[in-house]
Structure 1
Amino acid sequence: MQVGDKSLNYSSLQILRLDQNYLGDQLSDSVRSNIFAYLISLKSLNLSANGITNLHTSTFAPLTNLTNLDLSYNNIGTLDIMQSSLTNLLNIDLHVNSIHTIAGNLRIGLEIKAKKRNSTFGIDLRNNTLDYSCENLDFLNWLYGHQRNMKGFELYVFQLSDGKIMDCAWFRNNISHLDANCRSYTLIIVMCCIGISSALATVMGGVIYRHRWKLRYLLFMSRKRFFGYRRLPDYTVIENYRFNAFISYAEDNIRFILDEIIPKLETENVSLCLHQRHFLPGNAISDNIIQAIQSSRKTIVILSEAFLRSKCCMYEFNMARMESIYSRQDRVCLVIVMLEHVPHNKMPLEMLRWIQENSYSEYTHERDGQVMFWERLVSAIR
């Protein structure tokens, strides 16, 4: 005869003792655990010594009038049962089990029900090994705050992370320290992780930013080496450059290029590489710039405030600087022409350092000064 047999009327049953049976497997199974479906009037249920290790959360859901639940002498580790329908459950006997913790929703439910009924709840956790750790801190604090609701609390024991078993007196004296230690360690670990991550990100960002042009240049050269073509060397001349100079300038200075640079230098048989003439349509701008720099003996930067505002111009300057440092064996291939006075505080650090370490030519409108300027520029190119 089964409890859930419809042929029998159990609706008025109030006390049921099922201790010392073997219902553990059935009560943990979601399909077979509904054996109490028709015991709507049940107030006291004894399931002691049934070999229970795990209870399905909805096992006791139909028992809306249940007030006392005896689960002693089993092997339950964590108690987590659906308690929203157990509106009258106030006493749970769990002594002699393997309880480590009690689910938070069950704890809160017991407090709310006791307050509504103007009563108290009671739990018996004697002969259990309660887990004393930071992970179980919420339950331990709740246990400490509800000592009066715990039957035989003086006999409770607690297991530390190293396996040591401590008594109730020790628990009372040390629970406040555990709370402080858990907060401290968590905060320290989080802050250390954030600090280390921030420091590494800052250092890596600084290194990458400092060497950004070098990295871009080496990346381009590696891509060209493996996926591009290589120029065949001409051993009859020192260097086989297609142009004497690549002119890097801002569009705002186009009149100076057309009226001064091109006529003056080409009259001296200086072959020039210019954007408008020699950049191949369809190629990436970065590829055209690198090709122009590597095909020219020198790169002439026409420096102005407009030049500093142009991203393409600054890219040309930095790629020519990298070419001079890493590919020309310390032979300077970058010449700066100061077209107008540019304050040092407007120059990026790379350009300011280059000007301080290398000579540059300053354009002048004086007749005598212009003669010397053009002679020096042609000499620097050749």
Structure 2
Amino acid sequence: LPRNVSETFTGCPIIEYLDLSRNSLSEIPPVVKRLKYLESLQLQSNYIDFNLTSENLLPLKKLRTLNFGGTPIVAWTTPIPPLPLLVNLSLSDCSLTKPGPAPFEFPALEILDLSQNYNISLSQNTFTQLRKLKQLILRGCELSSWPTLPPTHFATIDLSGNNFTTLVNLEKQGVTVEVLNMSQNKIFEWDDPDVFLIHANNERFSNLESQFTSLRLEKNRFATPDVKSQKQAPNLHGKTHSSRRATWVQQVNLSLNSISAFTPAMLESLSSLAAVDLGGNHIDCSDCRTPALQSWLRAAGSTVKVLVLGEEGPLRCFLPASLEGAPVAAVQFDASACRDPTVRLRWALGLPLSVALSALLLFGALGFCYRTEVAYLVHLARVRASARRPADLGRCAYDAFVCYSGKNRKWVMRRLVPLLERRPQSYVLCLFDRDFRLGTHIVTNIIDAIEHSRKVIVVLTQHFID
């Protein structure tokens, strides 16, 4: 549609659902205020310099859904009026640095999506008036501090893909939630055995244990302190499982972190849960805290469900190599090294390494240090081999792989991608921000992208050269 659509809908005054997404609109069309029966207005992915002036929304008293997702809002002069029936508001990926010129005031709002607004700044009263809010999505906003929320019960709070470094006790915030997603943050430790417990004097949480509450912490940076205890941790069997105390969270997902061992405080905090997922962690069964973990696993069977990547099964060792894959609870632990702190040092310094082992370690280290060059040589050999045989374009998953600087991401996503992926061209592009596999080495991703693309597009700018 053109930017001026003032006469487009004058003959349709009873429209209830209007989708104006993926057009060239630079503002909310004035004609919208005539549609007094409108319940849903979709304005996502519009002009790159959208000016949000909200006076055209004032007459829309029946509006329930308002979606600006993917529309870069460069000017927001007046706050959205407090529409009485608005339930769902999406402002995701709108290039916002703050959520409007004034706090949100929507008496019926239940779903608010502010995801993918990098470096957005939230004031203390941004959400305080949203008393009926059930779903708050702040995914990928690079937040590092907990937002101030109204004291209500949420169905979902999504804070994944941010920069949080510490675990937050929601009970202290006066907030209850069924699913709290804090995955893919930078949380690296917790050392409070009561972090999941409800304080006895908090009446608001007195009946929370009957509700299912899930905390997702997968793909964070949880790890175990480097200094290993030289004494065996106390046996927790019968201590923390005899009477399970009330918690503000029922299930915690700690999978795919870097936990190698558990301190007594960590185990005590997990003992209050109904279920915990510990899969994908590199458990070191030679750590001196292994006996405490074994005792906890044996005792947890009756009160805590231990999951491994979403399924019931035994937690297994990752280290040392001789015990890789063995169930942690069944490992015969040798505690002699933990009793004498000099034993490991004597073994490390007293036994000379053989020449063969030294050579093996040397080649292994060289292979690790130059793994990028090795991957390049392998790819070069594949290219030369493929040059001798006819190209099989049928195996290409993409029309083109786009190579560009991260500083040019906005131009690529707003200009290049819409131009090529929309009709009539409808090309399939491979973008590293969108299509690269997580957890795979960057060189491997680039090689796979080139091999499975018909062409390569290089966005050659000064940022790319630098």
Q: What band does the TM-score fall into relative to the shorter chain?
A: 0.3 to 0.5
Between the two structures, name the one with larger relative contact order (CA 8 Å, sep ≥ 6).
Answer: 1
Q: Which has the higher helix share?
A: 1
Query: TM-score by structure 2 length?
Result: 0.29
